[in-house]
Amino acid sequence: MAGTASQASLLLQKQLKDLAKNPVDGFSAGLVDDSNVFEWQVTIIGPPDTLYDGGYFNAIMTFPQNYPNSPPSVRFTSEMWHPNVYPDGRVCISILHPPGEDPNGYELASERWTPVHTVESIVLSIISMLSSPNDESPANIEAAKDWRERRDDFKKKVRACVRKSQEMF
């Protein structure tokens, strides 16, 4: 186990260094605590021309000791109203689901986690999720209902999240 954890640690340190050297538009990332490379603080800038435009949304990305063989978990610490974000802030997108066949049959194995994903590809997938919600298998049923049936209510709740994120920033 120690060998796996040290390999994961080295890979995460490399990804952190790469992001510091070559920042990516749309987000910033760093360690929550310099002594723990397995927990990252990520700030996602609301994508332009979306309901989240102008927002600054913080999230914690927690990596398992066997990364990249298993996916990290991502949880927004900023308030977020979105069909693919659980009420407690956990992000629900296919690439964060464990590798292999979906026991519920909703996703293809090719849509789920693979070790080729990086912090950058994960966050870019989350930004894409903000741009186009998937209401087929929602994590937040109420947000999905608003998205489908009460779009004005959905927009109002997202605008409130954006305003709140700007105040916190």
Among 72, 76, 164, 163, smallest CA distance to 117 is for 72
Q: What is the pLDDT of residues 11-54, one digit of tens each?
A: 999 999 999 999 999 999 999 999 999 999 999 999 999 999 99
Give domain status of residue 76, yes or no: yes
Give domain status of residue 104, yes or no: yes
Confidence at residue 33, expressed as pLDDT on a 0 to 100 scale: 96
pTM check: above 0.75? yes
Give domain status of residue 126, yes or no: yes
Query: Can you tell me the distance from the alpha carbon of 129 to that of 51, in angstroms, rounded to the nearest whole number?
Result: 12
What CATH number did the domain enclosing 135 receive?
A: 3.10.110.10
Q: What is the pLDDT of residues 61-106, one digit of tens each?
A: 999 999 999 999 999 999 999 999 999 999 999 999 999 888 888 8
Give domain status of residue 31, yes or no: yes
Question: Which residues are within 8 A (CB) of 60 and not within 5 positions of it... i.e. 6 or more apart?
Answer: 32, 39, 40, 41, 42, 74, 75, 77
Give domain status of residue 80, yes or no: yes
Give domain status of residue 2, yes or no: no
Structurally, the chain folds into a number of domains equal to 1
Give domain status of residue 1, yes or no: no
- The full DSSP string for 38-61 is TEEEEEEEPPTTSTTTT-EEEEEE
pLDDT at residue 160 is higher than 70: yes
pLDDT at residue 107 is higher than 90: no
Give domain status of residue 103, yes or no: yes
66's tokens: 């066997």
Examine the residue annotation and report whether 161 is marked as an active-site residue of this protein: no
Q: How far is CA 91 from CA 33, 84, 118, 120, in A?
A: 22, 6, 16, 15
Q: Which domain holds residue 77?
A: 7-168
* Catalytic-labelled residue, pool 19, 44, 92, 158: 92
Confidence at residue 92, expressed as pLDDT on a 0 to 100 scale: 95
